[in-house]
Structure 1
Amino acid sequence: MAIDVKIEQLWIPDSLDTPDAADFLAAVEVGRKVRMQTWGSDDLAYGPQEKLLEFADPYERQLILVAKVDGAIVGTVDIALPLTDHLDLAELTLDILPEFQRKGVGRRLLEAAEQLARGEGRTMILVDTNHPGASLHEFERAQLVPGSGQGFVPLESREVEFAQKTGYTLQHIEQFSSCLLPLDTKLVADLQAEAEEANNGRYRLHHWTDQCPDQWLEGVAALENQAGADVDPSLELPIEQDMVFDAGILREAEDVAIAQGRRTVVTAVEHIATGALVGLTTITVLAHRADVVFQDDTLVLQEHRGNKLGLLIKVANMERLSEQFPDARIIYTWNAPENRYLLTVNKQLGFQTAGVTGIWQKELPTMHTSTS
């Protein structure tokens, strides 16, 4: 039996302690319940304050549509519209309360979000599906492989069936892993010794939190641009890095992170002979949740690989994180399954596969205005 669903745009309050914040809080709670259902914990759920800060991001505009049944919010779709590059793109995150799944709510929300995105001139839509490790073993017989890269999603899962029925194509897979903190002291000592032996005194580490020292700003920009060019061209990822970094862009990104209350712990590595930065790794700590942290980019230039620099900088950065943020108990990271280099480093550090995320794509027909 079809249920009566009303779709409306969510009002974003100025603060959480006003009466008009009730719907916003209910929408954030839907996201938390869905992540509990998927992952068995709410580590990956936004807290209300963290979600509110997202709306101040100058790099993308965020909108939320909600599905209401009898006045209560039972589903949400977050719509992120990039503002600086990829101006044809909209990224959607769809969350439906477990008890309202398979009742047509998701389809209604998705159609409304696509229509809104199209009205904003966006023609390329990305959505993701999340699959915990246990479900991958359960469905091993029936696998769907992506258009590029390695990995698979379970063909018979509800999310995959829904994405296919609504016209989306699986583009690529990201492997999702977690590691408990702090790292074991003996493990750290062993890994540091292994990395130092391999690089044989040819490299030097540099550390900073939140803001890059002026002397390394140009070096970081050059490293980001070079690493972007290093990506294997055979991996046709749907989002290509087409932003060219410079000192101004990096400072602006730091200011945005600081304004959102985020902390950034960075370790970079200098090639002593040339004085150039050849590697970098970053961990992000959210403003309102110190126990769960996120490993962001780890970059090592192609010609300096094979010297265990990835291992060297990641061990050092995770150690610094634990010193500065002792409440951090778990770190999460996403990697392309074909990135054997970083997956091997992560395994040495103790990362365990938590699951995979499938990135799905759909091209909307462009809107033509009638001239007749």
Structure 2
Amino acid sequence: MTSTVEIGQLWIPDSLDGRDAKDFLDAVEVSRKVRMQVWGSDDLAYTPLEKLLELSDPYERQVILVARVDGRIVGTVDIALPLADNMDLAEFTLDILPDFQRRGIGRQLLEAAEHFAKSEGRTIVLVDTNHPASSLRGNADEQLVPGSGLGSVPLASREVDFAMRMGYTLQHIEQFSSCILPLDSKLVAELELEAEDTNAGRYSLHHWTDRCPEQWLEAVAALENAAGELATEGGETPAGAQEELVFDAGVLRQAEDAAVAQGRRTVVTAVEHVASGRIVGLTTIGVLAQRQDVVFQDDTIVLQEHRGNKLGLLIKVANMQRLSEQFPDARVIYTWNAPENRYLLTVNRQLGFTTAGVTGLWQKELPGTGPNVTSSE
């Protein structure tokens, strides 16, 4: 007998202690098991508290739909709706328990998510597919190349086949890499000497954690604005996204406050051009509230006119060293890079990063907006 699949909106509890938190805990566990299936570890999975804290992000509204079979939550789709920019965009993260894949549950969840996004006035949807390094071997005719022309995903992938059948187009690839921490002290000394020999004392470093010093606030805000025009690290502007959040001192402080409120720590190294007194580059590492053993490389930015001086190498080595000093439990750092960002990929290889896999970014345009639908809780 075929079981009925029920789709509904997940109730978000105020805390994890009450009886009303069971469904939320079950939904988070679905996502953890899917990451275990894909990556062989749960390094990229949220803990329940981390996920609960993330849902308070003031820059993004999140709604979670779940699929139940015989009352059990077997699939989830996280719908992220940006609130400060890209107001036509919705980003989906779809997870189906391994034992319930290939039963049409993913299609039903994704269709429900598209309907919800459409009712919220969103016209562009992004989803991603994840592919470990072991799945990337194969001939060119066994790979799907994105619209950008760089990188590929395996055509044999179940996720790739599903995305294409659901009408999504592969737009972009990000290379996913990892590095064991702490860095070897001999390697650090060699890389620091290489970078310092190239910049010849024309630059100086500044460090902070969580909150930018007041003296650099406007300069860092300007650098973040410039990042929209530069190749950066830790994630690209989504395909189809046109609007950019404009940073100023106030917006930067709000972003810092939001991260702290979610229990996250941010380790930052910036580089100053001594002659001009200008901040011309920075790199940041994010540390989660509940898991300080797994950390994430966020933006690395160097202004175009100051490239060629190995500043990316200089600031990344210094920041990874500071990270290990402040958070000695950190054992691995992960990052995502666009394949065209060859300089930072080269720097990462020097630091000891190895390819863990790739993420494919897929886009679909929804055919106009429809009337609002009442979401069930």
| 1:174 counterpart letter in structure 2 | E
Q: Check the 8 A contact 1:148/1:236 in 2, yes or no.
A: no
Quote the RMSD (CA, aligned, Å). 1.5
1:21 to 1:82, Cα distance in 2 relative to 1, 3 A: same
What is aligned with 1:356?
Answer: 358
Cα distance in 2, alignment partners of residues 254 and 354 from structure 1: 29
Verify: 1:338 aligned to 2:340, yes or no: yes
2:191 aligned counterpart, secondary structure: helix
Q: 2:306 aligns with which of 300, 304, 307?
A: 304
Shift of 1:222: 1.4
What is aligned with 1:91?
Answer: 91
| 1:361 counterpart letter in structure 2 | Q
What is aligned with 1:290?
Answer: 292
Cα distance in 2, alignment partners of residues 237 and 12 from structure 1: 30
Cα distance in 1, alignment partners of residues 197 and 338 from structure 2: 28
What is aligned with 1:260?
Answer: 262
1:141 to 1:26, Cα distance in 2 relative to 1, 3 A: same
**TM-score where L is the length of structure 2:** 0.95
Q: Check the 8 A contact 1:209/1:263 in 2, yes or no.
A: yes
What is aligned with 1:120?
Answer: 120
| 1:335 counterpart letter in structure 2 | N
Cα deviations by residue, 1:252-295 (Å, 9 ceiling, x for unpaired) = 00000000000000000000010001110000000011100000
1:111 aligned counterpart, secondary structure: helix
1:3-14 maps to which residues of 2 (within 5 A)? 3-14=3-14
| 2:125 counterpart letter in structure 1 | I
1:196 to 1:166, Cα distance in 2 relative to 1, 3 A: same
| 2:281 counterpart letter in structure 1 | G
Cα distance in 2, alignment partners of residues 294 and 7 from structure 1: 33
Cα deviations by residue, 1:308-341 (Å, 9 ceiling, x for unpaired) = 0000000000000000000000000000011001
What is aligned with 1:247?
Answer: 249
1:358 aligned counterpart, secondary structure: strand
1:362 aligned counterpart, secondary structure: strand
Shift of 1:229: 2.6
Shift of 1:243: 1.8
Cα distance in 1, alignment partners of residues 349 and 179 from structure 2: 9
Shift of 1:140: 5.6
What is aligned with 1:196?
Answer: 196
Cα distance in 2, alignment partners of residues 311 and 149 from structure 1: 27
1:94-243 maps to which residues of 2 (within 5 A)? 94-137=94-137, 141-231=141-231, 237-240=239-242, 242-243=244-245
Q: Percent identity over the alignment?
A: 74
What is aligned with 1:317?
Answer: 319
Gap runs ≥5 in structure 1: none
1:316 to 1:149, Cα distance in 2 relative to 1, 3 A: farther
1:7 to 1:179, Cα distance in 2 relative to 1, 3 A: same
Q: Check the 8 A contact 2:203/2:272 in 1, yes or no.
A: yes
What is aligned with 1:276?
Answer: 278
What is aligned with 1:366?
Answer: 368
Q: Check the 8 A contact 1:174/1:357 in 2, yes or no.
A: yes
Q: Check the 8 A contact 1:148/1:237 in 2, yes or no.
A: no
1:137 aligned counterpart, secondary structure: coil
Any runs of at least 4 consecutive aligned residues in structure 1 with deviations exceeding 4 A, and if so which? 138-141
Shift of 1:148: 1.2
Cα distance in 2, alignment partners of residues 61 and 249 from structure 1: 18
Cα distance in 1, alignment partners of residues 239 and 200 from structure 2: 35
Cα distance in 2, alignment partners of residues 260 and 185 from structure 1: 33
How many residue pairs align between the two structures?
A: 367
Gap runs ≥5 in structure 2: 372-377
Q: Check the 8 A contact 1:139/1:154 in 2, yes or no.
A: no
1:32-51 maps to which residues of 2 (within 5 A)? 32-51=32-51
1:193 to 1:347, Cα distance in 2 relative to 1, 3 A: same
